[in-house]
Structures are given as structure tokens and as C-alpha cells.
Chain A
Amino acid sequence: MIFTSYTYLLFLSIVFFLHWSVPSGWRKYLLIVASYVFYCTWKWQFGFLLLGLSLFNWAFGRWILPRAISTWPLVVGIVANLSSLIYFKYATFLAANAAAALELFGSAWKPSLGDIVLPLGISFFTFQGIAYLFDVATGEAPLESLDDFLLFKALWPQLIAGPIIRLSQIRGQIEGSRTIDYPDIAIGSQRILFGFFKKVVIADNIAPYVDMVFMSPSAPNFLDAAVGVVGFGLQIYFDFSAYSDIAIGSARLFGFVFPENFNWPYASASPQEFWTRWHMTLSTWIRDYVFTPLSFAGRRHPKMAPLWLLIAMAVCGLWHGAQWTFIVWGLWHGFLLISNRLFLRHVFVDSEDASGFRVRRVIAVALTFILVQAGWILFRARSLAQAGLFLTSLVTLRGGLHPALVRENIVLLLSLLCGALFTAQAARKRLGLLPSSSGRVATFFAWTRPFVYACMILAIVVFDQEARAFVYFQF
């Protein structure tokens, strides 16, 4: 069930009305059942995988970890969680690379693992499980009740593509009683509407052009590559932040407050700032559960710190997919973060000291944007060779301003979209203040807001391409 489908809206409405109509003691069970129904509409068999992992983590966290006197039980728990992820997501990749390595020594081994179907959201719920065990092992009290844990693991708005929620962020909301009021409905519905608009009207309408450029087997010209890369940068932002908006909005309707996942990432003035604004729940996960433990383990060798950062970012890349392109994408960002810290500190701007240096900040934002977009080439390319082809076309200005693949409309569309995004970014602080203003401005907003919302709904209906899958579903 895709968030931007009519089926999901029907499902959400039914569960919403049922949830607030049944006695409060039943609500938790209703949400667990609804979450499993949501997950099983895709492939019901994998519902058992989710249930199995949930039972394992609950039991392990409740009975094994609190009694552990060494780190080994935690390692066992993490390995148990990773094993299913490795099998479903990385087995083919690992086997193919092992075969390639063995071929160097004359082996003719050809792995045949067949077609392994990747369970939806496995990367997200595996990472959530690992975080849970880690937190419990480091002192967080485990969830005692099984139904609380099942809800924590399966709650559908965060199940498929995050935000990756940690126990401490949601514990009170799961264990305690939840209520909603008008502001919850208003904020929840608004976030869902924004999410639908970003996904259906923007991301889905850019996607075909991006696909066309990256699916083409021939080398792109400069303009094609630029359209493909910038288009993908916009597509993945609007697509993934749309998913997060709908997830956060849906959860809000049931009284849950999820952490934010995006905060104007393309307004970042440095790679470091970018990672505090992009997929924030993943970046903090990587920081807390990969980088920090590695740094702690290697604390006697402070000069190795950049290496831990590179490893952490490579893991971040690998998490996205079993391809070398993702690993190199992670390494690219690791390299940017190290450069940001060591060599290019004066080029980029720290978000705190930006005032008074507007021109410098604009330059830093533009540079960060370009470097992040360069990374998207690796992320979207089908192979490292294709990524090289794109980079060559961009650097050598291949074909000048004559496209080999794209038409003028998409160049126009992307230019308008970039212009609108950067204008909104520049004005975001003022825009944020406007709705809470008083007097005439408030009256103006009170009357224009319904019109804007109605137009957004109209645009969603009119430009809808029948529920295309979200980009992050493949992770």
C-alpha cells in the first residue's frame, strides 16, 4: 500500500475513526493489527519476518541484555538482526564480489542464489532493532510489554521508510495514553497534504525525465547530465521528504509525535550542515551507533578519526543498497565531511556564524549544493562506469548546450523548480513567521490558506500518476 494511493487514504480514514471510537484499552491492539495489515498488503509472507524479528528483539532486550556482563550478548543480538538483512539485501552482492575475487585466483565458481525478493522496509526495521538492543545494553530500560514492543516495531507510518525512531523518542507515547486535539488534526492533515503535493505533483513528474537520462545506454551531453543529476537531486528530496511528511502527519493523527527527517537540506552551507538537515534520523543513527563506537574503540589513536568517519559514511552508503555506487557515494560524503573539517573550513560557513556574511553564505550554499549533486550521480548511476561517464560529460561540457536526450520542457521545469526552492529557502524564516503574525497579515493568511490548500488538492488530483512507488522503498 503506497502512501499516495487512494487505498491508503481509505485505510487511514478507517483506522483513524476506529481508533478514536473504540475504548482506549483497545487502541494499541487496533494499531498493531492495522500495521500488520498495512505491511502484509505488499507480501503477507514477510509479515512473519517482521513478527519474528520483533519477538526476538523483545525477548532479547527483556531477558538477555539486562543480565549481560559483557558486550558479547549485544554483538549476538546485532548479528541476529543483521543476518536477515545480509541474506535478503547483500547475499547476491557479497557472493558476486567473492566470485570476482576468486576468479583472480583462477576459480570458476559461479554463485547461484536465485532471485531474492527484498522485504519492504527491512533496512529501516533492522536498524531500529539494532538501535533498540544497543540502547537497552547501554542502560535504557527495555519495553516490558510485548504489545508495546510490537507497536514500537510495526507502527506503520515509520515501518517502510522511516523516520528511524528510537525507543527514547516514542516510549512515553507508546506506554502512556494518547489524545488528540484540533492542532494535531490540523498539523497532521497539513503534513499529509504537503507530502502528497511534493510526491505527486513534483517528484513523480520529474522522475520520467531523470529515468530517461540514466536509463539511456549512450553517453549524455553536458545538458542531459546536468538535467539528470539536478533532476534526481530534486526528485529524491521531494520524494523522500514527502514520505516523511506523510509518515509524520499520519502518526500525528493518532497522537504520535515523530522526529523530523528533513530541514531544508539544500539550504546547507557546508557538508557537515547538510547531514544535520538530510535524512536526520539516519545520520544521527550512523553517528551514534557506528561512528561514536568506532571513535570510542579507537580513542587512543585520535589521528585515525577521519578513517572512522569514512567507515561510518561507507556503512551509510552500503545501507542504501548492495552496490559499489552506494559505497562510493558514502565515501564521497565521508571525504566531504573530512575536507569540511580539515582543509575547507574557511570555504564553508558554520550555520551559527552566518549572520553578516550573506554573500559568503550564498557561495557556501551554492558550493555545498554542487558537491551534494555530484554525489547524487553515484547514488543514481547504474554503475561506477556510468557515473564516470556523467562526470566526464559535466566536466568537459560535452556537446555544449545541445542536449542529446532531453527536451527543452524539462530544462525549463527544473530551472523554475530550482528557482522556487531557493527562493523559498531564502525566505523560509520570514515565511515561518507570517502565519503567527497578528492583525491584517493574520486575516490575510486566514483567508488565503484555504485557497492554497484547495489548489494543492486540485493539483494532486489532476497531476496524479496513479501511486508511483517512493524512491526509498528500494532501500
Chain B
Amino acid sequence: MRTLDKIFFNRRFLLGTPGRTVALLIAFNVGVSMRQGSLADARRANLLAPAPAPATSIPLDQIRYDVSVGDSLAKYLAAIPDARSHRLAILAGMSQMYAINERVPGDETVSEHLDDTLRSSGTRVFGLAAPNLDNEEALFLLLTTLARPETTPAVFIYGLCFDKMRFVDLRPSYLSFLRDHPETRAMLTDIADHYERRFPLASSKIRGTVASLEANPAESEKSVEHLLRDEVGRAVPMVGARKDLNTYLLYNVLYAARNRVLRISNTSKRPMIPGRYALNSELLLLLSDVAKRHNVRLAVYVNPLNPQAENPYVPEEYIAFKTWAARMADSAGISFANLENAVPRDDWGLFMGGPDFMHFKGAGHIAAARAIAAAFRTDLVPGNLASPR
């Protein structure tokens, strides 16, 4: 111990680089601690999530969509109404499902409106959405719900956004879920084997996802590492707020700098990447086939877009995509609707100083829910259906 005393309790250590570094880290932590609330708000704003209801104030069984928007899927799966006693519909999609522009008290999301409307006819709706949810993630969500009888849906409604065709991969929180749920992982592997010839791109991608988990087997939520991170996070604000800091640095610093240097705006045209488009097309076809094999009605709709806002899609590519989606749905025998114009002009909001092309106000959620209910009436309730409030 004398060796260490000699090193740690001397002027060079305490007042030199180590001491100053520690002092700076303490200052960082104080700063983070003081700004924790605003960092969390910035993260929510960047992910376009609504202010999620604190889990403690609302009982889990009254929550009707994944409030964590993908971060704590396991927790919110438990909130899904029991599919053995109700006809269950899962509404899956991207941030449009839960983001509410100019939110006012009482505003609800699409999935909540749909649930309100359909509950009396015996159908319960639950929303499983996440920012920029892609087709592989939609497949993952379907399999996750199929893994247990109480969450197995009768209908899986999927809001298809053109942007989905650009994104690939499961987000880290879904990968973490997969690590902890071997049954879902096994289902993914079975699917990769089963569809190897028919959908080679999608099968290979799924296999890659499972392989990446096996290459990095650590850190299930119950592992020592995970518990340790949680404990350190509780004691050190910088570690506790690492996700918020990550989002802040990525969006408010790095992406903002990139956008300024390259003059990118939220409506700059983003040409489709062919390889990703082909992969996502296969994943969508695979999703429809898997749903069919499990007797789940798949309903797909092209999501509403703000007619007043310029969007980042290349017009010819977007038209070709909608045509392809309609044909694909027709040949696969799945329900399809183009709800592009379902939300009236006044029901959209503002984003970055201009009209938001993707997210709408509370009234827009009602309009979207109404359009979805009308489009998929026969899937959701075999019989008459009331209009949403």
C-alpha cells in the first residue's frame, strides 16, 4: 500500500494532469447534472417522441403504446391487452404514430384513438412504433408479438413510409431485447433458413443480425455488465445521461455541423439507395408471408404526408414506390391503402421553422385513425365499425 500512497498522495498526481482531468470530469458531471432535464427534452425533441407519460404515474395496463418508442420494449410488451380475451391489433410504424406537433393536454396518438374506437366492438389496439422504424424491425416486432399467445395479434397494421426503404438494421435496444429472448432469435433463424431461396437478400440480412449478436454475446439486461452500468449511471450523471448526451452530440452538434457545411435541410432530396431498396422490398414481402403463415392479417398503408410541405423524396422514385407497394399488396393478398392525403392541411404542424412534412397535430391523429379504421374495416372488426371520436 505504501507504493500507492507514494504515487497517489503526492503533489504531482493531485495537482498534475490526473488531478486536473478528474477536476474537469467533476465539472462535466455537475454541468450534466444541472442540464439533465433539458438534455432529456432535447433527446425527445430530436427523436420526435411525445413527452412520454412517466411510468410511475400511469399504470402499465392503461398504457396503449410503447411509450419508450423502442427503448424498453420488454416493459411495454407487458402492457399489450391480452390477445386471448380480445381481438388484438398491433399498429406498427415510425415517429408519425406517436409524435404530436403543438401538443395540448388531452391529445392522443393514432393507436390510442383506434383503441378507443374499436374497444366496444371487442378489438383492442396497441402501438409499437419507433423513430424511423424499418422493415426488418417491423418483422422483428411481428415475431416478438407472435412469440407469446397473449401478445399474438389478429391484425398487424403497418404504416409504410418511403423513408423505411432507406433504413436497415435493428436498433441497439431491439438487439438487446433479442439477446434476452432466444425464442425470438430462434424464430428469426428459422425464417432465414426457410426463405433462403425465395428472399436471399432478406434471409442473409436476418442471418447477419443474429450472427452479430453471437459475435457480441455479452450484455443481456441481466448481465453483470449491464447491472454495473446501471449502478455507475446512478452515481455518475455523465454515465446516467449517456443516451441523452449521445443524441445531443449527434443531432445538435455533429449532424448540425454536417448540415451547415453541406447545406442540407430537412427537405433536401434524398435519392433512394438501390441495394437498400431491394433489401427492404424483400423484407416487406417476407413480412407479409410470415404474417400469413401465422394467420395474422397484415394491413399496410402508405402514410399521410403534408401537402403544404416539400418532402425530401425524389418524385419519380416516390411514385414508383407507391405503385410497387400497391402491386405487391395485391399479389400477396394483403390489405393495402394509400392514406397519403388522409390528414387535412390544417392538422399538420411546424418543424424547424417550416411546415412539418411528416408529423401532425392532435387533430391529425384523429384523422389518421379514422382513415386507418375505414381502410381496414373488415380486418379490424368483422362487422360495422364506429367512427373515431
Binds A, one of B74-82, B154-162, B273-281: B273-281
Residues of chain B within 8 A (CB-CB) of A273 are none
How far, in whole Å, are A6 and B231 apart by their CA atoms in the complex? 11
Closest Cβ–Cβ distance, residue A315 to chain B (whole Å): 25
Check B21–A211 contact: CB distance below 8 A: no
Residues of chain B within 8 A (CB-CB) of A181 are 6-7
Q: Which of B3, B24, B172, B232 contacts A179 (CB 8 A)?
A: B3
Q: List 20 A-B contacts (CB under 8 A).
A: A179-B3, A181-B6, A181-B7, A182-B7, A182-B13, A185-B18, A211-B212, A216-B201, A216-B204, A216-B205, A216-B279, A224-B275, A412-B258, A450-B23, A453-B17, A453-B21, A466-B176, A467-B216, A467-B218, A467-B219
The 7 closest A-B pairs by CB, nearest first: A450-B20, A404-B275, A215-B208, A454-B24, A405-B275, A217-B204, A450-B21
How far, in whole Å, are A393 and B4 apart by their CA atoms in the complex? 57
Residues of chain B within 8 A (CB-CB) of A148 are none
Check A6–B225 contact: CB distance below 8 A: yes
B246 CB–A CB distance under 8 Å: yes
> Which residues of A in the span 172-205 have a Cβ within 8 Å of any Cβ on B?
179-182, 185-186, 189
Closest Cβ–Cβ distance, residue A10 to chain B (whole Å): 6
> Which residues of A in the span 376-420 have a Cβ within 8 Å of any Cβ on B?
402-407, 409, 412
Assuming the A-B contacts A212-B169, A466-B229, are A7 and B224 also in contact, with contact meaning beta carbons closer than 8 angstroms in the complex?
Answer: yes
How far, in whole Å, are A462 and B168 apart by their CA atoms in the complex? 23
- For A, the interface residue count at a CB cutoff of 8 angstroms equals 52
- Residues of A near any B CB (own CB < 8 A): 2, 5-7, 10, 17, 20-21, 179-182, 185-186, 189, 208, 211-212, 215-218, 220-221, 224, 402-407, 409, 412, 446-447, 449-451, 453-454, 457-458, 461-469, 474
Closest to A468 in B: B216
Check A462–B246 contact: CB distance below 8 A: yes
Check B278–A218 contact: CB distance below 8 A: yes
- For B, the interface residue count at a CB cutoff of 8 angstroms equals 52
Q: Which of B17, B166, B205, B242 contacts A461 (CB 8 A)?
A: B242
Check B28–A404 contact: CB distance below 8 A: no
Residues of chain A within 8 A (CB-CB) of B352 are none
> Which residues of B in the span 200-241 have a Cβ within 8 Å of any Cβ on A?
200-201, 204-205, 208, 212, 215-219, 224-226, 228-229, 232, 238-239
> Which residues of B in the span 253-276 have a Cβ within 8 Å of any Cβ on A?
258, 273-276
Instruction: Tell me what chain B mostly uses at the interface: helix, strand, loop, or mixed.
Output: helix
How far, in whole Å, are A180 and B258 apart by their CA atoms in the complex? 46
Check A458–B238 contact: CB distance below 8 A: yes
Closest Cβ–Cβ distance, residue B216 to chain A (whole Å): 5
B194 CB–A CB distance under 8 Å: no
Residues of chain B within 8 A (CB-CB) of A221 are 275
How far, in whole Å, are A6 and B225 apart by their CA atoms in the complex? 6
How far, in whole Å, are A212 and B273 apart by their CA atoms in the complex? 13
Residues of chain B within 8 A (CB-CB) of A465 are 172
Q: Which of A10, A182, A412, A466 contacts B10 (CB 8 A)?
A: A182
Check A186–B246 contact: CB distance below 8 A: no
Closest Cβ–Cβ distance, residue B42 to chain A (whole Å): 14
How far, in whole Å, are A180 and B275 apart by their CA atoms in the complex? 55
Residues of chain A within 8 A (CB-CB) of B7 are 180-182, 185
Check B219–A466 contact: CB distance below 8 A: yes
Assuming the A-B contacts A21-B4, A186-B18, are A7 and B273 also in contact, with contact meaning beta carbons closer than 8 angstroms in the complex?
Answer: no
How far, in whole Å, are A403 and B278 apart by their CA atoms in the complex? 13
Q: Which of B25, B166, B216 contacts A454 (CB 8 A)?
A: B25
Closest to A204 in B: B216
B34 CB–A CB distance under 8 Å: no
Residues of chain B within 8 A (CB-CB) of A402 are 274
